[in-house]
Amino acid sequence: MTVTVLQFGGSNCDRDAVRALEHLGIDAERRWHADGLPAETDGIVIPGGFSYGDYLRAGAMAARAPVMAEVRAAAADGTPVLGVCNGAQIGAEASLVAGAFTTNESARFQCEPVHLRVERADTPWTAAYDVGDVIRVPIAHGEGRFEIDADAYETLEADGRILFRYCDADGDVTDAANPNGSTGNVAGILGERETTAVLMPHPERATLPDVAASTDGQGILRAFA
């Protein structure tokens, strides 16, 4: 499998994503957005960073790049697509997933490890875990608060499209464990197909044992294996 890691002006986690994937034995290559997707790609990562300086809204400008029409088409065909942090914001702005990511409740940039509770274990992104498992993955964002209206949130829950929730070390989903004020403590969700997912925490920063305090993010990236 060869995974395409998109690169926008302001992306800063593209190399991290490639290195993490290659550590897991997955071929990966960076691709400048203006060059479009390769003729054949087995997976797509929209990485973290500050695309276009996060002007207007985080991810809003990158979401309108021509390559994102290609990403939407690939996602609709079942190609695995993962948006991480700024990639999650881009994915929401591009309607790959429901909802939006807005300014943290604290109104400040937050860079810290968080605990996530696995809500589903029957998707490509969570097959390495069991329901209720608690994993430790870092966040690094200023606009990571997941917002969605009440009816759409109920639909997300009813359709089983919530992958991860912020929790404490014991797996309890509490306000205190919610780092950014996200609705329902949501940290990661699915698109219309289970092969499309976005999350604010950084699994690529919890993959390499020589540099990471946790390797809990490996299971998420193994969806591309």
222: phi then psi, degrees, rounded to nearest 5: -70, -5
% of the chain surpassing 90 pLDDT: 96
Rounded Cα gap, residues 150 and 219, in angstroms:
31
Q: What is the pLDDT of residue 205?
A: 97
What local confidence, expressed as pLDDT, does residue 222 receive? Answer: 97
Per-residue pLDDT of 44-78, as tens digits, reads 999 999 999 988 899 999 999 999 999 999 999 99
- Residue 10: Cβ-neighbour burial (10 angstroms; 0-12, 13-18, 19+): middle
Q: Is the pLDDT of residue 212 over 90?
A: no
pLDDT tier for residue 213 given thresholds of 50, 70 and 90: confident
Instruction: Place 131 in a pLDDT band, splitting at 50, 70 and 90.
Output: very high
Query: What integer pLDDT is reported at residue 203 of this predicted model?
Result: 98
Q: Is the pLDDT of residue 164 over 90?
A: yes
pLDDT band per the 50, 70, 90 thresholds, residue 1: confident
User: Residues 93, 119, 194, 204: which is the catalytic one?
Assistant: 204
- Per-residue pLDDT, averaged over 135-146, amounts to 98
Annotated catalytic, 85?
yes
Q: Which two tokens stand for residue 189?
A: 């969700």
Average pLDDT over residues 202-210: 97
141 part of the active site: no
Q: CA dihedral defined by 186, 127, 204, 56, rounded to 10 degrees? A: -40
Two tokens at 215?
């390797």
pLDDT at 188 over 90: yes
- Closest C-alpha to 186, from 109, 96, 119, 126: 119
Residue from 33, 85, 115, 119 carrying the catalytic annotation? 85
115 is annotated as an active-site residue: no
pTM strictly above 0.95: yes
Q: What is the pLDDT of residue 55?
A: 85
Catalytic residue among 33, 115, 141, 202: 202
| Ordered alpha helix ranges (H), the chain | 14-23, 67-76, 86-93, 150-158, 218-221
Residue type present at position 66: P
Confidence of residue 36 (pLDDT cuts 50, 70, 90): very high
> Average pLDDT of the chain?
97
pLDDT tens digit string along 83-129? 999 999 999 999 999 999 999 999 999 999 999 999 999 999 999 99
Q: Hey, what are 158's tokens?
A: 């009813």
* Residue with more model confidence, 28 or 57: 28
Quote the tokens at residue 68: 């994102």
- Between CA 117 and CA 205, with CA 98 as vertex, the angle to 5 degrees is 45
Q: What is the pLDDT of residue 81?
A: 98
Joined tokens for residue 82:
């993962």
Indicate the residue type of 209: P
